[in-house]
Amino acid sequence: MGRSPCIATPETPLMVRALKALAAFAAFHVSLLGAGVATAASVAPLSLDQIVAGAKQIVHVRCTGNVVQDDPDVGVVTITNFVVLDRARAGGEPTFTVRQVGGELHGLAVDYHIPKFRVGEEYVLFMPAPSKLGLASPVGLSQGAFSVLPGTAGKEVGNGGDFGELLAGTDAANVPPRMAARLKRGGQERSRMDLQGFMALSRQQKAGTR
């Protein structure tokens, strides 16, 4: 009889990395679908109503550190720690942690284009409930992560999109006056909004979209 065919086993470093990358890919999509927003996995444009509906927590935070670690399930994870400055939904803890799939460790980079956070910078995050593996990325990825930036009249928020499109389905009666006035302008004027008004609007939106 001829020899039995050689069966490859997942014991080589390359095969282990490939399997972990596959697991990470699956976990990444599970963490997105766990947000309860079906379009999040394809990163389709989301309205503020949809982003709020998929968020278990809405927090204004400052990043205090990033750590990349080995993970037995998905290979590598990035853990980002924040101090909480304000909350529009859920919890009362003074700190907040985001655990996302991917990162660079031991010369291996796994990048799913998840939001990345810089130490010392502030953000408003719309976070879903973590997956069974404890992973979560902002709702709609970068759509649910707003940078907090200095403005002429105080802090402002933006995620690179047009707030006119983001708020297209929002009841105009709920939009704070300063935001409403800015929405009537064009171009770059609609790429940022007043932080306090945005947090107030997020608090109003939550009751009607859950």
Q: What is the per-residue pLDDT across 86-108, written as a single tens digit (0 to 9) for each?
A: 999 877 899 999 999 988 888 87
pLDDT band at 11, cuts 50/70/90? Answer: very low
In this predicted structure, what is the pLDDT of residue 53?
93
Q: What is the pLDDT of residues 106-126, one digit of tens each?
A: 887 778 889 999 999 999 999
Distance of CA 111 to the CA centre of its chain: 14
> What is the model's pTM?
0.80
Which tokens go with 47? 């309205």
**Ramachandran angles phi, psi of 200, nearest 5°:** -65, -40
Q: Of the spans 38-47, 66-75, 124-133, which averages the highest pLDDT? A: 124-133
